[in-house]
Amino acid sequence: MIRLDEVYKAFNSNHVLTGTSFVVKKGESRVVIGGSGSGKSVILKHIVGILKPDRGRVLIDDLDIAGLKEHDLYEIRKKFGMLFQMAALFDSMSVWENVGFAISRKGTLKPAEIKEISIEKLKLVGLVNVENLMPSELSGGMKKRVGLARAIAHEPEILLYDEPTTGLDPITADAINDLIVDLRERLKVTSVAITHDMHSSYKIADSISMLYQGKIIATGTPDEIRNTANPIVRQFITGSAVGPIKVEGVNNERTVNRA
Amino acid sequence: MIRLIERLGRFIISFFRNGVAVAEETGRILLLLSATLKQLIIPPFEFANIFKQMLEVGVRSVPVVMVTAIFTGMVFALQTYTGFKRFGAETLVGTVVALSMTRELGPVLTGLIVSGRAGAAMAAELGTMRVTEQIDALETLATNPVKYLIVPRFVAGLIMMPALSVCADIIGIIGGYFITVGLFKTSSVVYWNQTWNYLESADIYNGLIKACFFGGAISIISSYKGFYTSGGAEGVGKATTGAVVLSSMTILISDYFLSSWLFN
């Protein structure tokens, strides 16, 4: 279970999280939606302990990770697998070395065995005969798949997705969505995804939360969110520039008048 | 008058602001150094990565260090010979070349070259890893980035700088030999005698202590600049420039203080 309890985080004078709270139950697939720069990535980085809250608690299976010692924090991280926005593959390593990285760090298996496991994990994400390529030789969609294979290679209990479909064409994006749903069913993991892609959210989520001005302002099933009466959520999911959410640096009235 | 006071006030404010920024950066570098030393002694040890970095920092720097050293030795012999001839002391060229190479030029020039070559590469590589979230990815894969990335670079700097420095010393002295004996037709026996007679082991090992210090400084400063990069491609560029400038300055400034301490 993942629980954020009144988390506050500021970078200099920029208050990003101002009392963010939510709970993700074991086995649940949660999507957090919100505008660009609203602090969605900051939430993920708190869950995995890369950032520490200024105030509030982050609990993973009832353990407050903000207070953990460095060594224990790295132990807890073994429960996680994370897919980064630009995949963040290690570009000095081949595809199979990337996928097998977490396993090789344990130091118990031989390289040949690690390679075998990596090839298996790559098959799970629909990739074959790519294990000896370097990340620079892959397309954007393939990089995401390799990133996903790397995230699941050490059999984590919790998967975190940072904008899994951003920067992909609609067909590749949908293939990634299918993959996420498929992995969830097969591996029975808890997952948190952040995105502003509503099509993707409806497809992969059990429940959706909306982050606005540092707080979670609404949580519900995809259907509840789709039919929400909350004007802020409504504006976001319909993707309108007109409404209570102001687009930074854009004069809404003029935009409306021109239209 | 008022304008003058205003200017003075602005100057004092910016002076102290810069002072605070320098102190803050020094503090952060020292914090990274202490984290590195801590990770250095905790097993498991990253032997494979250490060897990889030793190859990168040391072995790959050999050609450029050799070229620099041989020409430095040559030009040093050329200038000293012409100068010393004016008061009939040209037999001492070997001594001057040997002392300056081992005590100063070997470690300092090697340091400047390694900072430009390996230091810049460290900052650029770590900076790119930071902005493309590869360092965050390491953390999520339960790997301490200081242990995995910085410790090997630090150890490689500490070991390879003295090794390169020894090579520079020897090649520099041989360069001096080419000019003194080959060009100016001084006796080869005189050159070697003058070299060995006045060279003490302290000249060599104190030079190597300096090289070791420079190696550690280059690695930790360049790693620091790369590790804390922000702001995309421009940030990586700034980090790389910053790494070379700051480590070169550190080498030149600390060289004075280390020399006055070690050689007195």
ipTM of this predicted structure: 0.86
Taking the CA atoms of B94, B98, B99 and B104 in sequence, report the sign of the dihedral they define: positive
Distance CA B180, CA B186 (A): 6
Q: Which amino acid is at B19?
A: G
Residue B45 to chain A, least CA–CA distance (Å): 11
Q: What tokens appear for A93 in the block?
A: 């390593």
Those residues of chain B that have pLDDT short of 50 are: none
| Residue of A69, A86, A108, A114 to mutate, testing the B interface (most B Cβ within 10 Å of its Cβ) | A86
Taking the CA atoms of B188, B189, B195 and B196 in sequence, report the sign of the dihedral they define: positive
Quick one: average pLDDT of A169-192? 86
Q: Which of residues 87-146 of A touch B (CB under 8 A)?
A: 88-91, 101-102, 105, 107
Phi, psi of A191 (to 5 degrees): -140, 150
pLDDT tens for each residue of A162-173: 988 887 888 888
Do residues B25 and B82 make contact, with C-beta atoms less than 8 angstroms apart?
A: no
CA distances from B262 to A25, B17, B208 (A): 64, 34, 11
Phi, psi of B109 (to 5 degrees): -65, -40
pTM: 0.87
Considering only the beta carbons, identify the residue of B44, B137, B143 that sits closest to A84.
B137
Q: Which of residues 223-242 of A touch B (CB under 8 A)?
A: none
Which pLDDT value is given to residue A251? 60
- Give yes or no for A52 touching B (CB within 8 A): no
Confidence of residue A85 (pLDDT cuts 50, 70, 90): confident
Query: Helices (H) and strands (E) in chain A — how many of each?
Result: 11, 10
Q: Does pLDDT of A74 surpass 50?
A: yes
Distance CA A24, CA B65 (A): 58
Which pLDDT value is given to residue A259? 45
Which pLDDT value is given to residue B29? 92
- Give yes or no for A194 touching B (CB within 8 A): no
Non-local CB neighbours of A28 within 8 Å, separated by 6+ positions: A190, A191, A206, A207
Please tell me which residue of chain B has the smallest CA distance to A51. B136
Quick one: average pLDDT of A122-127? 85
Do residues A67 and A18 make contact, with C-beta atoms less than 8 angstroms apart?
A: no
Q: Which residues of B touch A159 (CB under 8 A)?
A: none
Phi, psi of B155 (to 5 degrees): -60, -45
Counting one residue from chain A and one from chain B, the pairs whose CB atoms sit within 8 A come to 51
Q: Does pLDDT of A254 surpass 60?
A: no
Q: Does pLDDT of A79 surpass 70?
A: yes
Do residues A47 and A76 make contact, with C-beta atoms less than 8 angstroms apart?
A: no
Q: Which of residues 21-50 of A touch B (CB under 8 A)?
A: 45, 48-50
pLDDT tens for each residue of A196-217: 888 889 989 889 999 888 888 8
Please tell me which residue of chain A has the smallest CA distance to B132. A88
Distance CA B131, CA B117 (A): 21
- B interface with A, Cβ–Cβ < 8 A, is 44, 129, 132-134, 136-137, 139-144
Distance CA B116, CA B227 (A): 18
Q: Are B144 and A70 an interchain contact pair (Cβ–Cβ within 8 Å)?
A: yes
Confidence of residue A237 (pLDDT cuts 50, 70, 90): confident
Please tell me which residue of chain B has the smallest CA distance to A159. B140
CA-only gyration radius of chain B, Å: 22
Architecture field, domain A2-228: 3-Layer(aba) Sandwich (3.40)
Q: Does pLDDT of A257 surpass 80?
A: no
The H or E element containing residue B181 is none
Q: Which amino acid is at B200?
A: E
Q: Where in chain A is the domain with CATH 3.40.50.300?
A: 2-228
- The overall longest dimension of chain A from CA atoms, in Å, is 67
Which pLDDT value is given to residue B135? 94
Q: Are A84 and B44 an interchain contact pair (Cβ–Cβ within 8 Å)?
A: no
The H or E element containing residue A73 is helix A70-76
Average pLDDT value over all residues in chain A: 86
Distance CA B80, CA B89 (A): 9
Confidence of residue A250 (pLDDT cuts 50, 70, 90): low
Q: Are A105 and B142 an interchain contact pair (Cβ–Cβ within 8 Å)?
A: yes
Q: Are A88 and B134 an interchain contact pair (Cβ–Cβ within 8 Å)?
A: yes
The H or E element containing residue B144 is none
Q: Are A50 and B140 an interchain contact pair (Cβ–Cβ within 8 Å)?
A: yes
Residue A175 to chain B, least CA–CA distance (Å): 23
